[in-house]
């Protein structure tokens, strides 16, 4: 089973999750986001753990530090393996999140700038004066120094983070699309899985290119072959 590819469960029901797991038995990592978790709660986590799967809980916690620490502790009690927080929550929030996983193997992954954002949006709508790549770097640097285990960023920022921050952290990348699935939907900064791995990503998150394929299991296998055997 691949440790590099995370399949995003962007669906509404546990029955759909069961169907996906049966179609992609070779998939080890699954992302549970706000859409699925809000509808199904911890039941979907329980099912995936019973199947021997690893879980990337992508709820992007962003709140006052103590609330985030308590939320992280609750997530750990469910048996998740990684979870996301927003780096925009600041240093203390990241520090408290890290405290919430102490004594466990759960990894704290900090989201920098969402892959749907452009530089114009972060400057004009969010009031961030930095250039986009500087915003990603500054948030990543802060989050890692505060105790985060890894970073989520778009494929476009992988190279600069590796060049400036080294290799001693997990780098997880959404916004990748195989050449046979060219639609980018709401992702503004994308590239192919092979390119993302070559630039230094540790793990990739994909959903629609696999779930919308005629044969999801075959699509999953093709991407794994691309990123693990054709570099």
Strands 82-86, 107-111: pairing kind? parallel
CATH code of residue 47? 3.20.20.70
Number of domains in the chain: 1
| Cα 13 from Cα 33, distance rounded (Å) | 12
Range of the domain at 117: 5-229
Least confident of 75-79, 98-102, 191-195, 202-206: 191-195
| Over residues 206-224, mean pLDDT | 92
Residues 64-121 have pLDDT tens digits of 999 999 999 999 999 999 999 999 999 999 999 999 999 999 999 999 998 888 999 9
pTM: 0.92
Strand ranges in the chain using DSSP code E only, listed in sequence order: 5-8, 29-33, 54-61, 82-86, 107-111, 150-152, 170-173, 203-206
Nearest to 148 by CA among 86, 231, 79, 77: 86
Active-site annotation holder among 60, 95, 107, 194: 60
Tell me, yes or no, if 124 is annotated catalytic: no
């Amino acid at each position: 089973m691949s440790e590099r590819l995370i399949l995003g469960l962007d669906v509404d029901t546990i029955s759909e999750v069961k169907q996906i797991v049966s179609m992609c038995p070779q998939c080890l990592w699954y992302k549970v986001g706000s859409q699925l978790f809000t509808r199904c709660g911890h039941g979907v986590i329980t099912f995936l753990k019973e199947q021997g799967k690893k879980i990337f809980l992508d709820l992007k916690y962003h709140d006052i530090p103590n609330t985030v620490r308590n939320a992280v502790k609750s997530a750990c009690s469910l048996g998740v393996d990684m979870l996301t927080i927003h780096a925009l929550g600041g240093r203390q929030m990241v520090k408290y999140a890290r405290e919430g996983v102490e004594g466990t193997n759960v990894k704290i992954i900090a989201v920098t700038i969402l892959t749907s954002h452009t530089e114009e949006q972060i400057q004009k709508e969010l009031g961030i004066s930095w250039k986009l790549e500087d915003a990603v770097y500054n948030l990543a640097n802060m989050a890692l120094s505060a105790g985060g285990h890894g970073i989520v960023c778009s494929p476009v920022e992988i190279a600069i983070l590796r060049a400036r921050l080294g290799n001693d952290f997990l780098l997880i990348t959404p916004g990748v699309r195989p050449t046979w699935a060219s639609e980018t939907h709401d992702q503004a900064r994308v590239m192919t899985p092979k390119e993302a791995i070559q630039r230094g990503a540790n793990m990739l998150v994909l959903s629609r290119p696999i779930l919308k394929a005629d044969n999801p299991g075959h699509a999953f296998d093709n991407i794994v072959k691309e990123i693990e055997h054709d570099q």
